[in-house]
Amino acid sequence: MAEISAKMVKGLREQTGAGIMDCKEALAECGGDLEKAVDFLRKKGLATAKKRAGRSMSEGVVESYIHMGGKIGVMVEINCETDFVAKTDDFKEFARNIAMHIAAASPVGITPEDVPADVIEREKEIYKAQALEMGKPEKMVDKIAEGKLNKFYKDSCLLDQAYVKDPNISIADYLNEVIAKTGENITIRRFARFQVGE
């Protein structure tokens, strides 16, 4: 069993923002391997987030972000369970980062369910036409279009997008980390992105 030093715990804590006891447990479970401990904490955060999913969220903030000297503006509403958490630095930083991410990544919706049906149909038709153009067999066209549609969701839906500040994680991963850190259910409820000339 690897010796878990205070320095290792501190390093993991700085990297993940998890509590001291959680960091100790993660390092002990992973034999002192820092990378595995980070994954362990991420999975634990996901489990914690699922447990809290049913709780009511009537508090939160509306965060705004203006970029490029007023050329792009974002407003996002992020909800949590209590006013106490809404006022914490972690929550405020999360709201600010999500607003900045939306400005940079221009998502179409929060989840695939938010993408308008006509947009999905148009994308599907384009993918089918491209597959036929490439000479793909008729019976494979739908499957190819479905695969490309999943990639479209990954690129276009906020929770599936790679986080611009850390492309190794998705926005959903980042959200789950904040849920684990604050101990409350948090949701990105809605957003509006404005760009001059669009």
Residue 103 in contact with residue 72, Cβ under 8 Å?
Answer: yes
Global pTM? 0.68
User: Residue 5, SS3?
Assistant: coil
Nearest to 27 by CA among 1, 52, 66: 1
22 vs 90: CA distance, rounded Å = 18
The residues spanned by each domain of the chain are 6-52, 59-110+157-195, 116-155
Q: Using alpha carbons, list the distances in angstroms from residue 150 to 64, 87, 153, 188.
A: 29, 36, 5, 21
In tens digits, what is the pLDDT along the chain, a chain of 198 residues? 457 788 888 887 777 666 677 778 888 888 888 888 878 777 776 555 555 555 566 789 999 999 878 899 999 999 998 889 999 999 999 999 999 999 999 999 999 888 888 888 888 888 888 888 888 888 888 888 888 888 888 899 999 999 999 999 999 999 988 988 888 889 999 999 999 987
Classify domain 6-52 at the CATH superfamily level: Ubiquitin-associated (UBA) domain (1.10.8.10)
Q: Compute the C-alpha angle 130/132/137, nearest 5°.
A: 135
Q: Which CATH architecture has domain 59-110+157-195?
A: 2-Layer Sandwich (3.30)
Cα 63 from Cα 142, distance rounded (Å): 40
DSSP code at position 56: -
Is the domain defined by 116-155 classed in CATH 1.10.286.20?
yes
Q: According to the 3-state scheme, what is the secondary structure of 58-86?
A: CEEEEEEEEEHHHCEEEEEEEEECCHHHH
